[in-house]
Chain A
Amino acid sequence: MNKFAALSILFLSFGAFAQPVGPAGCGLGNQIFGDQNQVLAATTNDTSGTQTFGISSGTSNCIDSSRMAQIENYVDVNRVALANDISRGQGETLSGLDNLMGCTNTSAVNESLKSNYSQIFPTQNARAVYVTRQIQRSIKESSARTDCHLG
């Protein structure tokens, strides 16, 4: 066995060692995600070549041009961070939602969402459509209802 053969065998065993498990690295996309979650799905979707064009044609759910669909998508992808922020009444992810809903009086909106947390997220895994509807309802029932464009 010569040196080269020895090196290549070792290289291959390195490959076996290096099980790619997490999401994309330096542009090397991930291979094992299923569709349980949008973030996970995105790491596979965004490399499938459809997304840029989805963005342009509005076919994929995460890029629908309607404001409602955008909010639902935002809620779904950011769900963990958004639930934290709503229960705390502040945070960047919540500000992003306020921004997306065109809310101006954000402190009133955030306050109202916070006090309705358990209606908005009855469980951690509530459907995004449901969560979005509850967010809108809690704003509509609050003093901040005129501060947002809820469509």
Chain B
Amino acid sequence: MNYIFWLFTSWLLLSSPVYALADSRSLINKALTLRLNYDPVWLRLGHYHKRLGILGSYWESDESDADFFVAPDGKQNPTSELIATIRGFFSSHKRRLSHSRPSETVKCEFPARYFYLMTRLGMHPSELDFSDCTDYVEFRDRTNANSVTVVFSSYYMGNPESVFGHTLLRLNQADPNSEHSALLDYGVNYAAVPNTSNPILYAWDGLFGGFRGEFASMHYYYKVREYNDFDSRDLWEYDINLTPAEVAQLVRHIWELGFASFRYYYLTSNCSYQLIGALDAAVPRLNLESRIPFWVIPADTIRAIYNTPGLVNRVRFRPSLYRQFESRYKLLSSREKSKLRELALSIRHDQRDSAKIKRDILKIKDATVMDAALDYIDARFGKALLRKDPKISEMKQEFLIARSRLPIAKPPPEISEPNSAPHLGHGTFRWSIGRGTETLPSTNDGFTDLSVRFALHSEVDPTIGYPPRSDVEFMHIIGHIYDAQPRSSVSPRQNLDPEIEEVRLIEVQNLVPYDSNFPHWSWKFRVGGEETHDTALCSRCFSGVNEAAFGLTWVPNFISSLTAYALVDSQLNIGDFLGGSASLAIGPMVGFRQVWNPRFVSTLEELSFVEIHSADRIFGSRFRFDTEYSLINNLSFFMSGMWISSPTAGGQMIEAGLRIFR
């Protein structure tokens, strides 16, 4: 009898709010006894990081949106956030959220926290029920995630913020090896929310935290159309090996991140940093964050993921629109190729003459030529088509109608992977140590070169894992230590003082082979500061420099390893020695780049210039060579030289040494 009475009263208690309150109190006590407030997983779920202040270290969350915290001081206080979160789990009160988000109870806003904390506090996962969280359950069921893929969108030089590549997650509705349409899966993307159209502010805010960044999920087809088609970027897909429980927790945490927004920093708190933060929070065993440096470069995070034993199941390649055209074109016979070239010519020139286009189209009887023609139109005029340009759309419609009357062709063979997969690439951080000599008109001096580059890839670095003719260098600092007291009277130098030879804040070089079917400019630009060599006004003075060059690139058919380019170069120098004004040097530049093999690359470059400073006109030239040979992975030998001649200054510099990548 007594027994039944107790059973009955405890049932009453269990189903009453009084119990809930008592329960939250006891659970909070239990959580604090277990020290869950400093539990690594709890800290990760709150995106807390230890920071150093004047009064010692403290915890702070990366998150900057108040909606992400239940406690008012939750951003800096994981303990009060834990207490408020557990108390919130037992409240049916719906919190009012900003940004016109629907209000949610704490449990429904934070299902990952709920799941983790409640299982730590002794509940069995099967006892945890989210059926009262309609919105979350709808999100979970719609994404229907079974497995996870990390997607890398390759470097895109057409746009400054894309030069490092991009990463996102894909939640696969089925086992990725089964037959299903990946286009219908969900992509989870972290991006900044720009609030300016001023390019200067845009660059500034993007680099220094002026934008908010947010997570969003959408069908993967949006991303394929955007990156593969609109930008013509290759996508690399890394299927990762997570248990069903880990996938489920990741989906819960992604839901939580939908309520979050972070301060966006292009170099540190970017897409890859947030992606790794989300993965580490849901799957703490990965601990990816410990393996990436302070600067987060998307390709480095891909390597961290790829090098985690047993994590990556399979790598897939999704070719860009341009590559799809290229592969179809390669399949054609030489007669068909010339037919297609003729057609491309009339596509470019007779867009207005629809009758002529129609006549040309009717001549094509072969589905493979027609398919290549369609890909050509997309690759050449893709942006115009997406913008619904009427002329291009009408012209393409004629092709499509004609194509639909031809039979179904054999499916095109799978496009073989180029060797630009990011996981194969060298590390982006690079040290150089070298010895060299510098000869100026009056002296001859030996020096030791110590250089550091934060990112990413130069024209002579090993080519595997990078696009073939695009280079990006960010924060490249070149320092020299001279052996003897130097001689320049303009800038006297101390003995053995390391001297900054050059700072490249950013240098981008994009050499795209010119082809009448795909006419592209080649260009490069560089911003930073340097010791002047090639200005006649002062032979060793530090000067701010801004260089921009435009021109054309040619890759001969018979030696595809050779790239030749001709650019018009302009270089603006600003420095004390110019009396507060600037000097401008303009001239033609010719260069060659030879890839002997993927580990051995050489470049030669000749620049002739006229330098203009107030009334002075000084003619000069500069010749440079650079060669790098990869000895083993992440260790290269390099040799470089430079000759400058001008009526008033001039000299040469030769050096050799080692480069270490990590």
Contact = CB atoms under 8 A, between A and B. Distances in A.
Interface residues of A, number: 78
12 contacts: A10-B528, A19-B199, A23-B227, A38-B222, A53-B135, A53-B258, A55-B218, A78-B221, A88-B374, A90-B411, A100-B184, A124-B388
Interface string B153-182: 000101111111111000000000000110
B362 to A, nearest CB: 15
Contacts of B408: 88-90, 110-111, 114
A27 interface: yes
B463 to A, nearest CB: 22
Interface stretch (B88-96, B344-352, B394-402): B394-402
Contacts of A121: 397, 400
A65 B274 CA distance: 28
Interface in A5-50: 6-7, 9-32, 36-40, 42-43, 46-50
B378 interface: yes
Contacts, number: 277
Given A10-B505, A99-B180, A115-B404, 11 more contacts: A2-B576, A15-B200, A17-B548, A26-B266, A27-B189, A37-B387, A42-B222, A49-B99, A51-B217, A52-B139, A96-B221
B574 A47 contact: no
**Most B-side CB within 10 Å, residue of A10, A11, A77:** A10
Interface in B268-303: 270-272, 274, 298
A124 B387 contact: no
B393 interface: yes
A89 B189 CA distance: 32
B505 A11 contact: yes
Nearest to B196: A31
B401 A20 contact: no
A118 to B, nearest CB: 5
B612 to A, nearest CB: 18
Contacts of A26: 161-162, 164-167, 266, 270-272, 298
Contacts of A52: 139, 215-217, 258
Interface of B: 99-102, 135-136, 138-139, 142, 156, 158-167, 180-181, 183-184, 189-194, 196-197, 199-204, 206, 211, 213-219, 221-222, 225-227, 229-231, 258, 261, 264, 266, 270-272, 274, 298, 367, 371, 374, 378, 382, 385-388, 390, 393-394, 396-397, 400-401, 403-404, 408-409, 411, 503, 505-506, 525, 527-529, 542-546, 548, 572, 574-576, 580
Contacts of B191: 24, 27-29, 46-47
Q: Which 9 A-B pairs have the closest CB atoms?
A: A27-B271, A25-B162, A6-B544, A25-B161, A117-B404, A52-B258, A15-B203, A15-B200, A22-B159
A96 B182 CA distance: 8
A43 B184 CA distance: 17
